[in-house]
Structure 1
Amino acid sequence: MNNFNHFQNLFEVIKDHELNYNSDTEIISIKTNDISKIENFITSATKINEGVEFSINNFDYLFFFDESDFCIKWKKWINSNKDVAILNLRSKSKFYQKTDNIFYENFIKKNSFYFKNAITYNDFINFFILKSNEENNKFQFVDNFDTNSRKLFFTSSKEPGKLVLSYPSELPNFDDNIDYFIVLDNLKNSFEPINKYLPLFIKNEIFKYFDDKNDTNGFVTLFEKLKEILNLADKNYQIYLHDLSLDKIKSDYKEYKQKYFASQNDILSKITTQVIALPISIAASAFSLYNLKGDIFPTLIVIFGLISYIIYVTFIVSIYFGDILTLNIMAQKDYKILKNHPFFIENTDELTYFNEIKDNIFDRLKSLKIGLNIFTFIMWISSICLVIYSLKMLSITINNLILPFLIVAFLFCLIYVRFLNKLELKNE
């Protein structure tokens, strides 16, 4: 019978009986009148007045009465190479096959890092003990580790100068859905020769993280928040390697944003001028046509003026479209240069600030282009209508105007596609 089956059968035998556990002697007393079944299964059981008792140390695996018992005596299991069981009659039993790394809860396999995190936490303690014993004249990561008082000491030349992190003797209650081994492995890799100065950045981030420089539970917090601290240290280390100032880049990029917005506001101001002038021009032309009453020569002058107006404004609008497209290309180019920098390739999350600015610039350019399109079509339609009205006043029938109208419409579509809206804005 393997350890798991033995624990499962033991659980079934004793689960319905009244139990009493003495944590000092590590003996379980079972109050029962039917002791034969228990004696047959637990050969080391001893008869007492009201039942039987047995020591939890007589199995091939380590046995703990409940999670509280395990958390107090967890080092006993760490120092062994045995499987472990937690009875936990009032909640959920736990069993862990150490060699196969298989966890059971209520005798069902489950993905949990409950016991594995206890091993990782012990390795975490040993890692800092090791670093405290390393001799380095230039840099000492851990200045002292007092295992008796369970205190870890860091010192720094900067204020406040000293950080003391403590931890309890009991095993803390870690999130068993998180595998802390991965983060600890990253910490160990940070001390490889290739990462020459990274440990210094890690030490600095540890100092920054703890406001309380004498945290009685700080070492446990360090274990739980190690991933966050390593990420901050690695980011600052990458900035150091690439000789960057992230704050300066953000400041410069903010100036880029202001430059683009100034250019956009300039375009918007010019469009606004045209928009204000449009109804005045159309109204003046319409009023002139109404007063001319079909006089040929003056009417032809108005028609010539309208056509000239259409050509001129279309030319100006094409310049505005070109400015919008140029701004879009410049903004994308500046962002790509930033995005392709080795630091931002390795730290993509740092691009969020710059990506928001780029998207904001793109949205404004897109809105400007939509507004320019609306203005262009209104100008074309209203001006063409006035030209048609002028021709009608010259006694030219509608039927005779259909072909010229279609030709003009075709030309406008061609001009719009080939010159005004020839390229779409890009946001990459």
Structure 2
Amino acid sequence: MKTDSILFHKTFLKLIAPINKINIVDGTIEINTKPNLLEQLRNIDLEIEDLGESLRIISKSLPFKFFQSKEEFQTNFNFKDEDNILIFNNGIAISKIGKDVFIDFEKSESFYFKNILSYKALISFLKEKESEEENGFQFTDYMNLDLGKVTFIKETGNSRLKIKYEEKFPNFNDQINYSLKFDKFVKCFKGNDKYFTRFLKSSLIEYGNNIQEKNKLKNIFENLDLIINKANINFHVFLNDLSIEKFKKDYDELKSKYFKELSDILSKITQKIIALPIGISASLFAIERIKDNHDFLFFLLIIITATSILLSFIINSNLKDLSYLNEIFQMDFKQIKGNGFFKKIDSEFYYFKKIKEKFDSRVKFYFYISKIFYLVMNIGNSYLIIYIILNLELIADNGLIIISIVMGAIIIYFYSRLDKVPDFK
């Protein structure tokens, strides 16, 4: 047989494309004749039978298999993976030479042939797995290639999946390489752990039974990666003796507890924030009303100073509670993260990661709010204290400056003693 090339595809198609009647039957391609066509076909080393009004090309003299349409090609299961192919589909030439694909004789990244070959390989592979393995496990329980039927039965329970597939290749998105998913599926049977294929079978049955569309095998082929991932999760749940749903439920309860405690702390902070402007306004109003009564001003001075000190201790206490709550939460999260299941199946850890991110952002927000409140409250109260001292005329102006500096230093010192914002990692 002569060497195939895209130039040969182009030459051959140029000769027969104008012909309006082409019949492919019994290993021959019969075409209407026209002047010089016989000679031209023989010039490219094809075996031709001259029938007078028509010519018959012997298909085996072609270095490729020829089809008049995609539909004709996709109903043919008799080609081999290594066969070169030329399809003349609605005026468009689709060529396969080795592993290369050409559309109208230009090299293409289309996965048209690769996907169909992989789908064909999947059918053959499932048929192979109808045989019982040494450990008694049988992946495919029944398969009839002539009838296009395949059955999978779950080892535990009564669940089963029956599939009827058409005796033609489905249409796939030729921009997606489904062969990668099929290769990954085949590798699942080559691993050392034979138990995994049992989980793979269960995952396939579960996925297939959830498909409503008619062509289930096509959908399964296109989504083999999802089936493998689900099997992988279930397999590692089994290895780690873990129920992921129960784990999430328990964690939800724990999460609710943590967020409730956060809300309680926020409620305390909010009450103080709301009361602050009211308290300062009331104090200013009282000072204006009793500024001539030095005894009351002195009493108000003591109350504001004591309140400021007390609230500062309460804020510090709230921050310590917040730090402790955060520390316990981070310890629980670290324990979950260290579970062997999540080390293997990182995607399932996403749910817990999002909860942590939300918790961390709230804790950080509460810390900043508390610290801002501490500064605003003490600066506001310091102003009131200085204003009262000024009205009492107890200290000269120079003394007020010194008191202001001392009070500022005290505020900054105790601010530095407050619990720091946690370093979230």
Pairwise same-fold verdict (TM > 0.5): yes
Q: Percent identity at matched positions?
A: 28
| TM score, norm. by length of structure 1 | 0.86
- Aligned amino acid, residue 421 of structure 2: E
Deviations 1:72-101 (A, max 9, x none): 2242244xx43222233523x222222xx2
**Unmatched 5+ stretches in structure 2:** none
Note closer, same or farther for the CA distance 1:215–1:195 as it changes in structure 2 (3 Å cut).
farther
Asked whether 1:242 is paired with 2:240, we answer yes
How far apart in 1 are the matches of 2:189 and 2:259? 46
**Which residue of 2 is the match for residue 194 of structure 1?**
192
**Unmatched 5+ stretches in structure 1:** none
Q: Offset at 1:33?
A: 4.4
Q: Is the 8 A contact 1:164 1:215 kept in 2?
A: no
Q: How does 1:95-110 map to 2 (within 5 A)?
A: 95-98=95-98, 101-110=99-108
SS in 1 for 2:209: coil
Q: How does 1:64-103 map to 2 (within 5 A)?
A: 64-78=67-81, 81-88=82-89, 90-91=91-92, 93-98=93-98, 101-103=99-101
SS in 1 for 2:96: strand
Deviates more, 1:348-357 or 1:210-219: 210-219
CA RMSD of aligned residues (A): 3.0
- Aligned amino acid, residue 85 of structure 1: L
Q: How does 1:335-354 map to 2 (within 5 A)?
A: 335-354=333-352
Deviations 1:375-397 (A, max 9, x none): 32331232112112112213356
Note closer, same or farther for the CA distance 1:397–1:90 as it changes in structure 2 (3 Å cut).
farther
Note closer, same or farther for the CA distance 1:214–1:252 as it changes in structure 2 (3 Å cut).
closer
- Aligned amino acid, residue 390 of structure 1: I
Note closer, same or farther for the CA distance 1:253–1:214 as it changes in structure 2 (3 Å cut).
closer
- Aligned amino acid, residue 63 of structure 1: F
SS in 2 for 1:423: coil
How far apart in 1 are the matches of 2:331 and 2:19? 76
**Which residue of 1 is the match for residue 300 of structure 2?**
302
Match of 2:379 among 351, 357, 381: 381
Q: How does 1:271-350 map to 2 (within 5 A)?
A: 271-275=269-273, 277-279=275-277, 281-283=279-281, 285-294=283-292, 296=294, 298-350=296-348
Deviations 1:236-267 (A, max 9, x none): 01100011011111111111211112211221
How far apart in 2 are the matches of 1:212 and 1:348? 25
Q: Offset at 1:293?
A: 2.9
Q: Is the 8 A contact 2:364 2:421 kept in 1?
A: no
Q: Offset at 1:167?
A: 1.9
Note closer, same or farther for the CA distance 1:159–1:170 as it changes in structure 2 (3 Å cut).
same
Q: How does 1:18-417 map to 2 (within 5 A)?
A: 18-25=19-26, 26-30=28-32, 32-33=34-35, 35=37, 37-38=40-41, 40-41=43-44, 43-45=46-48, 54-78=57-81, 81-88=82-89, 90-91=91-92, 93-98=93-98, 101-135=99-133, 138-156=136-154, 160-192=158-190, 194-211=192-209, 217-275=215-273, 277-279=275-277, 281-283=279-281, 285-294=283-292, 296=294, 298-395=296-393, 396=395, 400-416=399-415
Q: Is the 8 A contact 2:130 2:141 kept in 1?
A: yes
How many positions carry a matched residue from both structures? 420
Note closer, same or farther for the CA distance 1:183–1:295 as it changes in structure 2 (3 Å cut).
same
